[in-house]
Amino acid sequence: MERRRSTSPLVVLAAVFLLVAGLLWLVTGALFGVLGGLIAGPESVDGSGTGVFGASGGALAVYGLAVVAWGILGLLAATAMLVRRGWGRALGLVIGAIGLAFTGLSLASALGGGESLASMGVNLALVAGYGVTVLALVTGGEHFRGS
């Protein structure tokens, strides 16, 4: 008789958060990458390039690629967490801690800078999601044991 493994609802919630956030980061990064490519544009006929717009567009495209990579890591961690892989727990914990640090700083900046309620709401939702992720993965060891 096989012992049934414990499923942590908190770990599942964290995985769902990372799936949704990963998809949003993936789409956002792709949009930044496309926008950066459009701003950079092709070089002119005389080879003079596009100057400051080309550099800005290139920087925006690189930023977009970094955001896409962040989204892919989130999707990978969430998927591995749902199938109870220990490396998924480790990756999710790293993503949660980094995400919590950056979104926490962003929330503090939004609160101190008089940002809109929408901006503060998004930051608060991300802080809560990454916070739940860290909490779930620190306390949800039984979810990953025996896999």
- Residue 66, in any domain of the structure: yes
The residue range of the domain holding 136 is: 9-144
Which residues of the chain are modeled with pLDDT < 50?
1, 44-46
- Residue 4, in any domain of the structure: no
pLDDT for position 47: 54
Provide the domain count of the chain. Answer: 1
- Residue 131, in any domain of the structure: yes
- Who's near 46: CB < 8 A, 6+ residues apart? none
- Residue 127, in any domain of the structure: yes
- Residue 138, in any domain of the structure: yes
Cα distance between residue 121 and residue 117, in whole Å: 6
Would you say 133 and 90 are in contact if contact means Cβ atoms under 8 Å apart?
no
3-state secondary structure of 2: coil
- Residue 3, in any domain of the structure: no
Would you say 123 and 110 are in contact if contact means Cβ atoms under 8 Å apart?
yes
- Residue 39, in any domain of the structure: yes
pTM of the model: 0.83
- Residue 117, in any domain of the structure: yes
